[in-house]
Amino acid sequence: MPQTLIIAPNWIGDAVMSEPLVKEIRQTGASISILATPWVAPVYRAMNGITEIIEADFSHGKLELAQRWALARQIQHKHFDNALILPNSWKSVLIPWLAKIPARYAYKGELRSLFLNKALPNPPKIDRPPMVEHYLALAKLIGSASSPKLEMSRPLLHVDENQLKAAKDLLATFPNPDQVYILAPGAEFGPAKQWPSEHFAKLAELILNDSSMTNVVFMGSHKDKMIAQKITQQIPQRYQERVFNLCGKTSLDQSIALISKAKALASNDSGMMHIGAAFNIPQVAFYGSSDPHHTPPLSPFAGILFLGLDCSPCHQRKCPLGHLNCLRQITPESALTELNQRIYQLKVI
């Protein structure tokens, strides 16, 4: 059985979008191992068909050659036949090269072609193909000749029984645990991808006012804790007993399990958005500086709100014009309408 090592991307959303690639390689009969950072590894624990996950905690922006060399020595003894390198950085090629994996495949970039056996040309930043297709194209370099069907090209995640039970136990502490709306206000890339906090607060108020049975739960990383706190403070006091801020209080494994049991999700273009789509949760996603064609939530129950202004997508971390109209002009009322339509869509199917 051939053995494939996949060097995982460093963003949660990108990791989710690599799942169809994992599926495609698995169909070739290969055994699949993943080399991932600790903050991305939980995504791969929620995928089927992975033999091993190797965690590597490297500092951002640092070479750390000694640590990479030590890990490469360990990996060399596993006798991988090939490696697929998903990140674009030249550092991501070092470990499979130092480990003497005989076949190393990736996209061209950062002068790393000398370390690769085969490389695909990187698409231009404008009019880029969907990220799932971008990753899937690499499968052909290791012998996959099939063209995945649409349903196979949609990322799907799964939660093990222990994580699912823990999620259900936590949800049981909320009023009406089957009526949990998750709001994810963060976006690691930067503020140009973040719907305004006052809009999230108003959407939460509309959801809570719509039914006395609903709960609103804010989820995200520790970095999102302050913005979620700012949002919850803007929600009227009469709703506060049904508002919960879990940002920074749950691991990614726990967050994945909780999202899988949510009634609905509202988020920016973020890792949380892609996790929700991978569970077919009714959701609405807000796009401003990023391109919904390149990184859409691949679910039939996902709604996208994107105004397509002349200045967007700009792919900038901060709004270069200073007004953030691409997101500010998306109203909470339109978000609730879209969310309710997706919930209804799930009910009638």
Query: The domain spanning residue 343 has which CATH number?
Result: 3.40.50.2000
**What is the predicted pLDDT for the residue at 148?**
56
Phi, psi (degrees; rounded to nearest 5) at 217: -120, 125
Same domain membership, residue 330 and residue 205: yes
- Single out the residue in 130, 153, 176 at which a domain terminates: 153
Same domain, 323 and 257: yes
Residues 264 and 340 in one domain: yes
Residues 125 and 252 in one domain: no
Q: What is the pLDDT of residue 210?
A: 93
Same domain, 148 and 166: no
Tell me which residue range forms the domain holding 238: 161-348
Q: Work out the end-to-end distance of the chain between its first and last CA atoms, rounded to an integer number of angstroms.
A: 40
Residues 6+ apart with CB under 8 A from 263: 178, 179, 180, 181, 214, 281, 282, 343
Instruction: Based on the fold, state whether residues 81 and 221 are members of the same structural domain.
Output: no
Q: Which two tokens stand for residue 39?
A: 């903050």
Summary mean pLDDT of the chain = 93
Residue where a domain terminates, one of 153, 172, 193? 153
pLDDT of residue 62: 81
Higher-confidence residue of 38 and 128: namely: 38
Give per-residue pLDDT as tens, 20-47. Answer: 999 999 988 999 999 999 999 999 999 9
The domain boundary, picked from 153, 178, 204, lies at: 153
Q: Looking at the chain, how many residues does it have?
A: 349
Q: Which residue has the tokens 């922006």?
A: 61
What pLDDT score does 127 carry?
Answer: 76
Same domain, 66 and 122: yes
- 73 and 107 together in one domain: yes
Q: In what order do the strands lie in the sheet with 302-306?
A: 243-245, 215-218, 180-184, 264-268, 283-287, 302-306
Cα torsion 136, 140, 143, 145 to 10°: value is 90
Give the span between the Cα atoms of 294 and 141, in whole angstroms: 22
CA dist., res. 279 & res. 305, Å (int)? 20
Q: Kindly give, in sequence order, each residue whose CB lies less than 8 Å from that of residue 308, ignoring residues fewer than 6 positions away.
A: none
| Residues 5, 84 contacting (CB under 8 angstroms) | yes
Confidence of residue 279 (pLDDT cuts 50, 70, 90): very high
In this prediction, residue 113 has a pLDDT band, given cuts at 50, 70 and 90, of confident
Same domain, 180 and 320: yes
Residues 228, 140: contact at Cβ < 8 Å?
A: no
Percent of the chain at pLDDT exceeding 90? 84
Q: How far apart are CA 308 and CA 291, in angstroms?
A: 9
Per-residue confidence band for 190, with pLDDT thresholds at 50, 70 and 90: confident
For 187-203, b/e burial (b = at least 16 CB within 10 A) is bbbebbbbbbbebbbbb
What is the model's pTM?
Answer: 0.95
* Torsion, Cα of 220, 221, 222, 224 (10° steps): -50
147 and 165 belong to one structural domain: no
Same domain, 256 and 333: yes
238 or 187: whose pLDDT is higher? 238
Task: Give the span between the Cα atoms of 31 and 49, in whole angstroms.
Answer: 8
Give me the number of domains the chain comprises.
Answer: 2
| pLDDT tens profile 78-105 | 999 999 999 999 899 999 999 999 999 9
CB 12 within 8 A of CB 39: yes
Are 138 and 170 part of one and the same domain?
no
